[in-house]
Each structure stands twice: as structure tokens, then as C-alpha cells.
Structure 1
Amino acid sequence: MSYKGYLIDLDGTMYRGKAPIDGASAFIKTLQERHIPYVFVTNNSSATEEMVVEKLATFGIDTTPDHVLTSASATAKYIAREKQGATCYIIGEKGLHEACEKVGLKESTLDVDFVVMGIDREISYEKLKTAALHVRDGATFISTNKDAAIPTEEGLLPGNGSLTSVVSVSTGVAPIFVGKPEPIIMEEALRMIGLDREEVLMVGDNYTTDILAGVHARMDTLMVLTGFSSREDVADVPKAEKPTYIMDDLYSWIEEKMS
């Protein structure tokens, strides 16, 4: 099948930590040359779209902020649709704070409509306490993603899912998760790309986030073996949840499916 658009993961698909991945730049250039729309979809909530673009440029991938959807932006847009001008208590970094501000959400520590949690590497007991109290008072609990651990050069470190679990366990309230593999971020990505789900391919390296996100959104998926998951990881999953395609890398996709 010839797809009219692509949703594309970043870490493990476009780059691995601080190293480029072979075929990634060529794949994006092929899409651009053929005027095929694409959106980068990332669970990263700490970075702004502009920061993501700057990082991609260091790997020879030239793009623009309107081709990037972070879990922070997807979260902010979801909340704005639920309640325009909502008041939020936000735990997170620059990407999340700016995303909420862009859509007109108001930050406060008092009388909030939503508690919003993203990765925060300056997390404190005081922040967690305030979040828990608001959730107990009835604020809707939103989390940008459920990633329990995030890969770094130091190894796997606690992710936003781990931080979110503190408030969830304390209050007994399960949050609404936005990022992959949940459908909320995928629906927002489809709105951005402006195509029907049957026309779009989800591309990623991580079965449990990228591929399941596509499966949950009823989209075809391509799992590339350049990052987290292997063929063995998906050998025993149900047929309906298997990747549509598995390729060694994006060079293989260009040569076999786009030539």
C-alpha cells in the first residue's frame, strides 16, 4: 500500500540518544521531496516543538515545529477542548508549561480544574503533595504519558509514569494518560496531518508505545529494528496486535516500499 502520510517516533527511530540512525535523514528527505505529509509524535513533554526541531537538525534532519507533536502539546490541546481557559496545577518542565500557555490554560495552585503531570527533574514532595490534595478535592487528573522509565546515556531513569504513580497511589485516582500508546495523542496527530487513519502509517521502534499506539488507533504500523524492540518481542503477540510491517531500518522501507 502507498501511504499518503506518516506519523513518526523520534528516539530509536530518528536517533538513538546522541547518535543518528542510518536511514532516518534519507527517509525524511524522501517524504519532503515527494510532498508526503508527516508528523513526529513523541512522548517527550519536557521539550518545546522548537527544541525538538533544533535537536533533529543536529542529525541532519531539517523540519519545522508544525511537523512536531509532543505529549505536552497533545495534553494541552486535550484539556483546552475539555474546558476552554481551564485552571491547572502543572508539574512539568518548559515544554509542558509553554504548551498549556499557548492554548490559553491558566496556571494556579488554588481552585484548579485539572492537575497535569509531565516529567519534572526537579520534582519535590511539596509538588506531589499539592497535586494529591487537588486530585482529592476533585480536580481532573491528567498525565502526559505512562513511561515508567526513560533511556539516557546513564541507563534507564525514572520516567513520568513513575512520578504519576505517586499521586495515583496516594489518592486512589487513576489519571487520564495522553501519550503513546493511548489514542488521545494519535487522534491529535491525525488532526494535524489532515488524513484518514487508513491513509497513514505509524512508524516507530518501540512495540509497547509506538506500535501499540498505532494498533489502538486502528492504523497500519511499521516497526523498525533500530531501537528498543526486536522481532522476538512480537513473536507471540496476538495477530491483531502485531506490526503490519517489520523492517531492519528505514533504508529498507525506502527501497522496498517507496521505490
Structure 2
Amino acid sequence: MYKGYLLDLDGTIYRGTELIPEARDFVKELQARGLPYLFVTNNTTRRPEVLQAMLEERFGLQVPLSTLYTASLATVDYMVDKNLGRTAYVIGEDGLKAAIYEAGFEEDPINPAYVVVGLDTELTYEKAKIASLAIQKGAHFIGSNPDLNIPTEEGLLPGAGSLVRFIQASTRVEPVYIGKPEAIIMEKALERIGLSKEEVVMVGDNYMTDIRAGLDNGIASLLVLTGFTQAEEVADLPIPPTHVVSSLADWSFDD
């Protein structure tokens, strides 16, 4: 049915440290059929190399590094395209900071060209203060992704979007979001997989990010009910996904 698959990670392939077994079989079937796939994740805490190793060592999935496209990489692509300067102040963890600074941007907490806010489990008031003051001075405010929550084995925890809204409330400045469901990451993902929007399907567990990424950008969507969006919510969704399955084991590649 589709020539390529764009896949979420958190809540779709795994929940925190727990593998979703049907998802591993799904990816292995993609590989066996030679179908192009790209993991498009709003996760910015880990480098793609770390995600690749985690998928193999923890979940038994061997995937090429080129199949992992994070909101961190999309953020760098956006900053390079925007071309406002080569300085940044970043609230986030290793995956986001490494992507930005290893791309040649220099840290500047006083007068940066960009302030980038992603998930940071060690967020402090001091970090929020530095970011807020820089934005008030005119730094371009970027939110890595709008996810208010992340699904884990413990339950739903605060996501990057919650932190971005904190800074937004203190500055009264609207951020530019990079991650799903925004067009920025989806357009770059299509470039990476080398297919048109009509040829792919976006697979994910979160209606507000994964599925809206498809709906808002003219891409077919497959909602899998293994993470954020629950079965009882489906009937009331404002615009239905193209497909809905309880688990990826229910998906037929041949229909």
C-alpha cells in the first residue's frame, strides 16, 4: 500500500525501557520486504548513535544510523536554513546539545542568536532565567517539540512542550516548534527517506503529534493504540486517522 514508513519511537516501538514486542516484528517485516523506513522522533535527549545502540542492545532491533531522524537533527537543519547566526543557548540534554554544538554553533548565554528549549530532566530556575532574558533581548526562540508528555513505564511524564510553555509564559514570546506535528521536521524527513508525501504513512501512538503530523501535512497516518492516545478516545477525535490498529501486529502490508 505504501512505499515507505515514517515511524515514531516512544509509545510506538517502546514504552520507556519496555519493548512493545509487536513493534519489533513490524520493523523486521519492513526490513524483510525491503521497504524504506525512517524513525522520526521528537526525542531530543539521546544522540542518534545512542538510540541506535539502545534499539539493538535493549530491544534486539538492528537499524542503520541513517534511519534515525530526531528533532535535534531537524532543529539543526532549521537553524542552518534560518541563518541568523552561529551562537545558541540550549536547554536540553546531550542529544540536543551535541547536535547543535557539534554542527558548529557556539554556546552564548548572554546574547545568542537562538534559544533552543528541549526536554531537560535537570532543568533549574537559573537555566530558565538565562533563556528568558536572552529571548527578551531578541534571540530566536525554538521549541524542539510540542509534546506536553512522554509515555514511560511509570506513566505520562512532563515532556519538552511543558518546558517550552514555561519559558513562553515568562517571555510572552511564541516559539517556533520543530518536532511533530510541525511541517519543518516532516518536510526534512521526506527528503531523508527520498519519497513524496503521497508515498508514505506516518505511524505513531500520539494523535496530537504523530497523527497530526500526517493530517496537517498531507500524509497518510496510522494510529497504534499502544501509547499516548487510548482506544476510548478514537471515536471523538476531530479528524480520524487514515488507519487505526490496536497494535502493529494488526497491520497488513498487502491490503
Do Structure 1 and Structure 2 share a fold, with TM-score over 0.5?
A: yes
Q: Deviations over 1:92-138 (max 9, x none)?
A: 11001111134322222232111111111121111111111111111
Kindly tell me: are residues 150 and 230 of structure 1, through their superposed partners in 2, closer, same or farther at Cα, counting changes over 3 Å?
closer
The 3-state SS of whatever aligns with 1:201 is: strand
Q: Tell me whether 1:232 sits opposite 2:228 in the alignment.
A: no
User: C-alpha distance in 1, partners of 2:227/2:151?
Assistant: 11
The 3-state SS of whatever aligns with 1:157 is: strand
1:14 corresponds in structure 2 to 13
1:110 corresponds in structure 2 to 110
The 3-state SS of whatever aligns with 1:80 is: helix
1:47-196 residue pairs with structure 2 within 5 A?
A: 47-57=46-56, 58-83=58-83, 86-196=86-196
Using the TM superposition, name which of 85-94 and 137-146 deviates more. Answer: 85-94
Pairwise CA RMSD: 1.7
1:4 corresponds in structure 2 to 3
User: C-alpha distance in 1, partners of 2:230/2:127?
Assistant: 38
Q: Which ranges of structure 2 fall in alignment gaps of 5 or more residues?
A: none
Q: Which ranges of structure 1 fall in alignment gaps of 5 or more residues?
A: none
The 3-state SS of whatever aligns with 1:7 is: strand
Q: Deviations over 1:119-170 (max 9, x none)?
A: 1112111111111111111111001012222233443332222221222111
Q: Tell me whether 1:251 sits opposite 2:249 in the alignment.
A: yes
1:194-233 residue pairs with structure 2 within 5 A?
A: 194-233=194-233
Measure how far apart 1:84 and its partner are. 7.0
Q: Alignment length, in residue pairs?
A: 254
Give the % identical residues.
48
Kindly tell me: are residues 134 and 179 of structure 1, through their superposed partners in 2, closer, same or farther at Cα, counting changes over 3 Å?
same
User: C-alpha distance in 2, partners of 1:177/1:95?
Assistant: 17
> CA contact under 8 A between 2:7 and 2:40: conserved in structure 1?
yes
1:32 corresponds in structure 2 to 31
Kindly tell me: are residues 48 and 244 of structure 1, through their superposed partners in 2, closer, same or farther at Cα, counting changes over 3 Å?
same
> CA contact under 8 A between 1:85 and 1:104: conserved in structure 2?
no
Measure how far apart 1:248 and its partner are. 2.1
> CA contact under 8 A between 1:80 and 1:103: conserved in structure 2?
no
> CA contact under 8 A between 2:10 and 2:151: conserved in structure 1?
no
